[in-house]
Structure 1
């Protein structure tokens, strides 16, 4: 059906591939999260200063 690999072997290889990809790209995901938090803080500060002006 799948050649020489059994279904459990394919599932195991798929899980390892996904986990490996997440491990490799984890720093990129963390940097994106930090950047988003910084943008939210800047936006919040800008809104607060806007409210104080008016």
Structure 2
């Protein structure tokens, strides 16, 4: 009834699954990186203004 998958089929399915996950979640990772960059820049501005005060 069920056939066993060969090693190349398993590797292909694994690669396809990982690539699909990266493709789906890529915009989320981009947004997180953008948000972290903006927060870092704001933190630097606050620190620079505190140094001047």
TM-score (norm 1): 0.90
Aligned mates of 2:16, 2:5 — CA distance in 1 = 15
TM-score (norm 2): 0.92
RMSD of aligned C-alpha atoms? 0.8
| Alpha-carbon distance, 1:45 to partner | 0.2
The 5 Å alignment of 1:1-54 reads 3-53=3-53
Task: Tell me the matched-pair count.
Answer: 51
